[in-house]
Every structure is written in C-alpha cells, then in structure tokens.
Amino acid sequence: MRVSGRAGILLAAGAAVLLLVSAQERKPSDVRPIREPLDLPSFLPSAADLKAWKPKPPPQRFKGDDLFLYIDGGAEIFREYGFAEVLVQDYEDSRGRTITLEIFAMTGTESAYGMFTFKTTAKGRPYAIGQEARLEDYYLNFWKGPCLVTLTGFDASRECVDGLLEIARAVNGKMQLKGSRPSLVDLLPKEWAAASRIVYIRGPLALSNIHAFFPQDVFLFKEGLAAEQDKFKIFILRYGAPAEARRRFQAVFEAFAKSPAYKDLKRPMENYFEATDGRGLRLYVQTFDDHISLILTPTVTDREAVLALFESLSGR
C-alpha cells in the first residue's frame, strides 16, 4: 500500500511549512509551580453554606508522598501530573448519606486540567462550575486554576446529584482561582471538540493507560494529548523543539521495527510510517514541527481519512 500522490504531496508540503513555523508560536506549556501553598480549608463549605448537607469532621489532609496513604495504588498518576496536596471532607445529610469532597491542589493549572481530563469522559454532563465540570452518574469533577475538585456521592439518584451540585457550587464560590488550558489542546481539529474523550497527558503512565504501545517508554515526550472519536484514536506528543521531535521520530520508528508486536511496517516518507498491531489496528505515525502524531484505526481502508486528519493537524 502506498500513500496517495496528492496526500503525499500535501503531507510533505505541510511538514515543510510547519518546520518554518516559529517555535514561539507553538511554545510548549510549562508547568507553573504553585509559589505559595493554597489555603485549601478556606475552600470547604460550612453547614451554613449548604441546605441539606453538613460537614462530618474531621477533614483529612495529605501532602506529597503521603498521598500514597490515601490513594494506595492510585497515587502515581497524580504524581505524574503533578500533585501538591489533597483535602478530603465528608458531608452528611439527615439520613446519614455521605458525599465525599476531595480538593486536589496540583502543581500547576496544566496539571489540574490534565488530571481532570484523565478522570472524566464526554459521557459526563457538562456544568458551568469552575472552569470545566462534568457530572458522571454518581460523581462530579471540576477544575479551577491549579485545583481539581472531585465529589463522590452514593448513587445516581436525584437527591445525590442535587447534593453533588450544591456542594460543588459552594466550593466553586470560595475559589478565586483561574488558569489556562494547555496550548497543545488547540492543536486538535475543531471537529474533534466533541470527541468522546480528550486527555491531556503529562507522562508515560497516562499514555499507557489509554493505549499501551510498548512495555518501555519509547516516546519520551514533554506533553501529549489523546482523543477518541468514532473509530479513530489520535495521540499528539510534543517535544521541546522540532529537531528533538525528528530525532525521537526515528527512534520511535526503530522501536516499531524491532517490536514483534507490530507487523506490516511501511515508511513511504521520511516523516511518516504505518504499522499494524497485534489486535489488527492500523497505526499511522507522522512528525510535524515539534510533535509526533499517531492515529489508530480499525482497518487500513481508513487511510485517506487518516491522511486528511494529518493535513488538518498540520494546518493548525
């Protein structure tokens, strides 16, 4: 199989243009460490702030490595995104039912946004709480500035959902914080805004959780983005500079070539190759500017759509 002539020319042209784009315009997002610890207890709603719920003392607080004591087995992913501390407070209603509030102070707004995207899906119902909020069955997440807030209820009943929303809005009202989404998110084509899941990635653990390409860390990216829509999965991995992305692309190609888990490897262009994985998924890999993009599809017949998607990425 070969890349079509038109698509190939467009891909090459797109790559050439993008290599000329100033690095300033695509400056990778930086983690901005919190200069001073946030006053997390000040974000806790009191009984007076709520109608049907009251805090059940005492709150719990875990900082740094102590997160392991709280989320035994699940702390690493927070660490990868950048974790500072968490405050946990239960709220109880008159029937003894509980909603748990967790306020995670992350090390930057990108970290909070990233953890939010990791924990949520587009199945969740969006709400205007914080900078972005999603309600999924019995739990609600929102992010605001460097904070990720998670509220977990007891079931998906109206009473539970009302409680989640009431407490979330009360927390939001006490948080005078703001931050920006990572610029990498803007690389995603507009039509992917409604993707079933968009995850901002800060390291190999999140990447392998979404799709395990290799048992080793082959990509060594600075930041990344994964999105899923219909039958397509797309990964955009960003590097410090275009030259670094090109070097890494060659290393990635060699890793695919050596791995017994992949077959039908084809490299019709210097900056592009394809392969098929053990599940029969076709993988398309390309480098543009300071990033490597990977697209997974169920069949090779999706190539034209994939190439169009690459073109779309290169035009942004």
Partner 1 sequence: MAHPIGRREFISRSAKLGVSAVLGERLLAGLAGGPGAAWAAPVADVAVVSGGDLAAATAKAVELVGGMGSFVPKKAKVVLMPNVQSKNPGTFTKPEILRAVIRMCRSAGAAEVACLSYLGQANWDGTGLAQVIKEEGAVLKLIPRDDANFKPTPVPNGAALKEAMVMNEFRAYDVFINMPITKDHAGTRFTGTLKNLMGLNAPSNNRGQFHKPNWQTDPAAIEHLETCIVDLNTVIAPALNIVDATEIIRTNGPMGPGELIKPGKVIAGADRVAVDAYCATVLGLKGEEVIQIRKAWERKLGEMDLKKVKVVETKV
- Binding residues vs partner 1 (CB under 8 A): 65, 68-69, 71-77, 79-80, 98, 100, 118-119, 121, 123, 136-139, 150, 152, 154-155, 203-205, 208-209, 212, 214-217
Verify cis geometry, omega within 30 degrees of 0, for the bond prior to 146.
Answer: no
Q: Which residue has the tokens 């899906």?
A: 121
Residue 67 amino acid letter:
L
Whether the Cβ atoms of residue 256 and residue 275 lie closer than 8 Å to each other: yes
**Three-state helix/strand/coil letters over 192-213:** HCCCCEEEEECCHHHHHHHCCC
| Contacts with 91 (C-beta within 8 Å, 6 or more apart), sequence order | 45, 50, 53, 54, 55, 56, 98, 99, 100, 101, 163, 167
CB of 22 to partner 1, least distance (A): 32
CB of 82 to partner 1, least distance (A): 11
Cα separation, 53 vs 41, in Å, equals 17
CB of 58 to partner 1, least distance (A): 12
| Contacts with 203 (C-beta within 8 Å, 6 or more apart), sequence order | 80, 81
Nearer to partner 1, 49 or 154 (CB): 154
Nearer to partner 1, 100 or 312 (CB): 100
Element (H, E) at 90: strand 83-92
Nearer to partner 1, 207 or 307 (CB): 207
Give the three-class secondary structure for 242. Answer: helix
**Beta-carbon-side half-sphere exposure of residue 289 (alpha carbons within 13 Å):** 23
Nearer to partner 1, 259 or 286 (CB): 259
User: What is the distance of C-alpha 251 from the center of its chain?
Assistant: 24
CB of 9 to partner 1, least distance (A): 37
DSSP calls for 42-83: GGS--GGG-SS-EEEEEEEEEEGGGHHHHSTTTHHHHHHH-E
Cα separation, 27 vs 25, in Å, equals 6
CB of 120 to partner 1, least distance (A): 9
| Runs of H (alpha helix) within 153-291 | 158-174, 204-210, 242-258
CB of 245 to partner 1, least distance (A): 20
Nearer to partner 1, 111 or 286 (CB): 111
Nearer to partner 1, 99 or 295 (CB): 99
CB of 240 to partner 1, least distance (A): 18
Nearer to partner 1, 208 or 276 (CB): 208
Nearer to partner 1, 254 or 304 (CB): 254
CB of 87 to partner 1, least distance (A): 16
